[in-house]
Amino acid sequence: MVSRTLSLARLGVTFPMLLGLPAIARRRLALQLFLVTSLTVTMTIATAAPPPSEKNPVTDEYHGVKVVDDYRWLEETGSPAVKAWTTAQNQYSRAWLDARPDRAGIEARLTALYAKDTPSHSGIVSRPGRLFALKFQPPKQQRLLVTLASADDLTSEKVVLDPNELEPKGQVAMDWYVPSPDGKLIAVCLSEHGSEEGTLHFYRTETGELLPDRIPRVQYPTGGGSAAWTPDNKAVFYTRYPHKGEKPEADLNFYQQIYFHQLGTSVADDTYSAGRDFPRIAEIHLETSDDARWLLATVANGDGGEYAHYVRETKKGAAWRQITRHEDLVKTITFSHDGAALYLRSVKDAPRGKILRFPITGSLREAVVIVPESEVVIEGLTPTAKSLFVADLIGGPSRIRQFGLDGKDERILQLPEASGVGGMIAVDGHLLFRLASFVAPAAWMRYDPVAGTMKKTALFNTSPVDLSDIEAVREFAISKDGTKVPVNILRRKGTKLDGSNPTLLYAYGGYGHSMRPGFNFEHRLWFDRGGIYVVANLRGGGEYGEAWHLAGNLTHKQNVFDDFAACAQHLITRGYTRPDKLAVEGGSNGGLLMGAFLTQNPALARAVVAHVGIYDMLRVELDPNGAFNVTEFGTVKDPAQFRALRAYSPFHNVTDGTKYPAVFFLAGETDGRVNPANSRKMTARLQAATASGRPVLVRLSSASGHGMGTALTERIAQKADVLAFLFDQLNMTGK
């Protein structure tokens, strides 16, 4: 083994010599020396010490509690010291990963599989005589915007916009799009480098011609963005963040408002419509009735699930009218097919959801319950001319119910067992929806409510791999407080429960987000080496309704971590695996889950993969998007919430000398949702603390953000790194 200290000594420099220098100079010199020496040390150095991370303590006090942060300097994004540290860590991780003998082969196989994958369509929107869709077509780096005459006629497909032609390396992505009411124009939000900082552009559908109008600052990762057209197809309402000079620098990614733009005019002449009285952390979504006469604004108070709704006519001079407040607990509102009424999904006194209806010109006081709460969770609703379709969740899997527009004459659609449903839209009186399962590729289905018939459209995927040898079984783990937690296990048929199976456990557990069944052909590489793949439906999600969500947020967040640990223990107790054959993975809020799991249960798994995670829970709200998370996680300003945050904050609960599992952190430098400083600080802290001798790696990508808009080649490279890491740590040999 070649040590890092010896490498410095070869240049006549030792760490004791560095101690006499000022802290900043010492840190910079050490990192610069590492950059030089790292070029000379190869990774037979798989066992070498990681690059040094200097401790420079900063002390904060919260409600009388002093908290020391040794790595605050790693928050200084863009500073020379942080750039040098990032380069050093990336080189160290790159050398370790590239030294895995099958790393290149894994990437080659993934690339080959994507080349064989059939195109997939998502985000379908209906307009008179045509459908719009986002088309993912490997090996193209980014999705295309296309039109079709119908979902049954692939020959009618036309490309309207190909971002890959705007930037061939895949660094321009579509955040979202909205066709005009007549379908002849499209408003498209484009951003670069996975940043989700979007500018609104306009295109002609038939020719793909780009119009001269440009509207900046319509989209940012904090509150997203949205737009909606007027009936004459000549103007849009849109979300707008403050421009420089309108607010202090710290507030430029807050205070989202609604503005109005007439095509062909200067953006400087756009007029304010609404939002000055919205919360600082408002997240606005705009949509219109089918005839574009009515405009609905859904205003979220951050990410915790609180909503208010406003409606107005789109005609000039019309006034906004607030129709719900946070305390009304209305989650979503949908226009009736004719725009004369509103359908509301509410959880007030009905945590699994109920559906109400009232006239568009009326008020919530007039609302009538037409679909009451039942044993299943109401997740979404789609009205057609004669029917109301309701998407339900049953702890994870989906079902669809059909009603009359008055909520009567219930009928349950026959779907395959353990299916996931998404993207329900009304098209010519029929229901179009996306259907998937853990073992079957997704397909867009068409249901005729009059005939009661269902068929697969031409928009379906075939898989480049065969998963006929895989079965999905559903079991339940028992959490610390006795709660039953669903565990979805994908395994080869005939798998022996002898504790020897490499197993990867994945979960999320937050924001009311539900983990539905879904297909991923990448899992074939895992199964081919004898692996088992598991998805857990933890509290904090929405699988069992609002109560399930609230049981895992704010001061109840520890329940999520207890649920996940219980799922890991369940897999061990049942004989699926054992701790040295178990790995866990999660991203974003699921990355926080990984950090809490490894600090609270360091002996329960061999390896941890955490994507774009949050680890310093005491400072996350200081970042722009972190402030939006206060309604989900809590704030250090509240004593009780501070105590809860401090108790589980991964960064603050790393203990020196603990034998931690192998850990691989992945983050994007352009991430506007989770500050990559979280991954930098957590890496430095774990590298200094662990006594296991297992690697603690970080991959900080300059070509990606939080994951949205990441180019295909970068996604494949990240996946290859993850699999190489896991195969190595779980000793998985094979194909």
Exactly one of 193, 261, 309, 706 is catalytic; name it: 706
Q: Can you tell me the distance from the alpha carbon of 226 to that of 483, in angstroms, rounded to the nearest whole number?
A: 39
Q: Can you tell me the distance from the alpha carbon of 561 to that of 648, in angstroms, rounded to the nearest whole number?
A: 9
CA angle 304, 618, 505 (to 5 degrees): 65
CB-based contacts of 630: which residues, under 8 Å, 6+ apart?
A: 281, 302, 304, 621
Sign of the C-alpha dihedral computed for residues 107, 109, 113 and 116 taken in this order: positive
Q: What are phi and psi of 122, to 5 degrees?
A: -145, 175
Question: Cβ distance 446 to 434 under 8 Å?
Answer: no
Query: What's 305's DSSP letter?
Result: S
Q: What are phi and psi of 353, to 5 degrees?
A: 100, 145
Exactly one of 93, 588, 649, 701 is catalytic; name it: 588
Question: Cβ distance 3 to 48 under 8 Å?
Answer: yes
Q: In this structure, what token pair is assigned to residue 97?
A: 């990963």
CA atoms within 13 A on the CB side of 427: 24
DSSP string, 371-408: E---SSEEEEEEE-SSEEEEEEESSSSEEEEEEETTS-
Q: Can you tell me the distance from the alpha carbon of 216 to that of 678, in angstroms, rounded to the nearest whole number?
A: 29
Q: Measured between alpha carbons, how far apart are the two ends of the chain, in Å?
A: 30
Query: Kind of pairing, strands 484-492 and 532-536?
Result: antiparallel
Q: For this structure, is 337 an active site residue?
A: no
3-class SS of residue 700: strand
Neighbours of 444 (CB within 10 A): 24
Residues forming beta bridges with residue 343, ordered by sequence position: 334, 357
Q: In this structure, what token pair is assigned to residue 2?
A: 């070649």
Q: For this structure, is 588 an active site residue?
A: yes
Question: Cβ distance 617 to 553 under 8 Å?
Answer: no
Question: Cβ distance 176 to 169 under 8 Å?
Answer: no
Residues forming beta bridges with residue 287, ordered by sequence position: 296
Q: Can you tell me the distance from the alpha carbon of 512 to that of 345, in angstroms, rounded to the nearest whole number?
A: 14
The two counts, helices (H) then strands (E), for the chain are 15, 38
Q: What is the per-residue burial (b if ≥16 Cβ within 10 Å, else e) of 550-569?
A: bbbbbbebebbbbbbbbbbb
> Which residue type occupies 410?
E
Question: Cβ distance 205 to 185 under 8 Å?
Answer: yes
**Active site positions, annotated:** 588, 706
